[in-house]
Amino acid sequence: MLTIFNSLTRKHENFIPIEPNKIRMYVCGMTVYDYCHIGHARSLISFDMIRRYLMHKGFDVHFVRNITDIDDKIIARANERGVTIQELTNEFIQAMHEDCAALNVLAPDTEPKATEAVAGMIELISGLIEKDLAYAVPDGDVYYRVRRFKDYGKLSNQNIDELRSGERVEVESKKEDPLDFVLWKRAKPNEPFWESPWGNGRPGWHIECSVMSKEALGSHFDIHGGGMDLKFPHHECEIAQSEGYHDHPMANYWMHNGFININNEKMSKSLGNFFTIRDVLKYFPAEVIRFFMLNSHYRTHVNYSDELLNQAWNGLRRLYTALNDAPESLPEFDANHPIAVRFAEVMDDDFNTPQAIDLLFEAANLYNKNHDPKDYVILKTLGNVLGILDANPDQFLKSVPNQSDDDSEIIEALIIKRNEARANKDWAESDRIRDELKARNVVLEDKQGKTTWRRETN
């Protein structure tokens, strides 16, 4: 049976969907004011893997990932660039979709935008005020009364009295309590706004997901996910809003992926170790990034470095090298194959992708040894469940991340010259060309009168 580590209870639990064979799943998405960074890639890939495996198990998954398209950073960036907010957000939504496609992240079934859900946010805030869980101040801001929600802190396992003012929660004198958080912000000059019972303004960040998840999945759904950095305060505040209003649980299972560290340091722009997905794609194929991420359990923190990416690239090449020797005919996938059975066992244990990938290498070794088409199908199919190994093997083995650096035509010409030298028994020239190709990180294989080649990283 599938077990999931539930961040809410801090233990592994058997997964039982609210509706048989159906899963409603919400994952916090991007605030679209800049390109997605490598930390975003971790979350995108982690929850895409989870979604794919649930689908592989036969569940009907409704997957929702939202877009925050109104926020202080968005307003500031649009002003810096002298463009409208919509122009800015459209640009980075398109860029996000391109990054997701490169990483083989499936498009969400529903992708709500915050600006399209403001009416629902106003309705929810009004309901919280009626229940005395929120209050408006004279200038038009609205705040949530944290101490009125007795379970505040249950997700992040924090005692409300131990939360020190000014460290984790902004202190404002107009609040009744320093812990209270904003639901509605009054409009400032030259900022976008919506009309509301409290005057012109716009929603706070936390209220967005409470409303977008409800409108897409209902007020009670199966899985809520996001990065570990969202556990507090964002997800904690979502729970307070949604459960305070509806008087029942928001989500049965809360899941959080780990952080990305760069060379053992936390990624930050101030440290100069901040990388966008597009930065990394200049040096590594997108599938290598995905494979690298999957080599660590989704809940662990991952150390990112070029050396580790190169190791992942070489590992992925090993798998594609096996797939490049395809049998003439392929049998059906056998779910009772010993490797498929063990794959299901490790993935059912809170999506243990490192052990699942070990089984892919086992399948590749079996196929290389015995050339049994059943092992080939196991390798290919289970790789696809993880969102990898669906490229043309020959093309992948010859690939370079930046096409401007593609020297494939030069390599092919050198191979032709080497074959001519071998035919003329000019072994010195043949060896010289092989050495030149080796210097280009090209590995040759002479088999059945034909020369094939693939790249290797240093």
Alpha helices in 103-135 (DSSP H): 118-130
Residue with tokens 């088999």: 447
269 is in an annotated binding site: yes
100 is in an annotated binding site: no
Contact yes or no for 187/202 (Cβ under 8 A) = yes
Is residue 357 classed exposed, middle or buried when 0-12, 13-18 and 19+ CB atoms within 10 A define those classes?
buried
176 is in an annotated binding site: no
Query: Taking CA 113 as the corner, what is the angle to CA 91 and CA 224, rounded to the nearest 5 degrees?
Result: 120
Q: How far apart are CA 349 and CA 62, in angstroms?
A: 22
Pairing of β 11-14 and β 201-203 = unpaired
Q: How far apart are CA 252 and CA 247, in angstroms?
A: 14
- Helices then strands, counting H and E runs in the chain, come out as 15, 15
Cα dihedral 41→42→43→47 (10° resolution): 100
CA 297, chain centre distance (Å): 13
238 is in an annotated binding site: yes
Closest CA to 206 of 171, 170, 247, 237: 237
Residue 99 has, within 13 A of its CA and on its CB side, a CA count of 28
Q: How far apart are CA 314 and CA 60, in angstroms?
A: 35
**Where would I find the beta strands (DSSP E) of 69-167?**
134-136, 142-144
Residue with tokens 């990305």: 260
Both tokens of 20, joined, read: 């048989």
209 is in an annotated binding site: yes
Contact yes or no for 57/51 (Cβ under 8 A) = no
Binding site membership: which residues?
A: 28, 209, 234, 238, 269
Binding site membership for ATP: which residues?
A: 269
Binding site membership for Zn(2+): which residues?
A: 28, 209, 234, 238
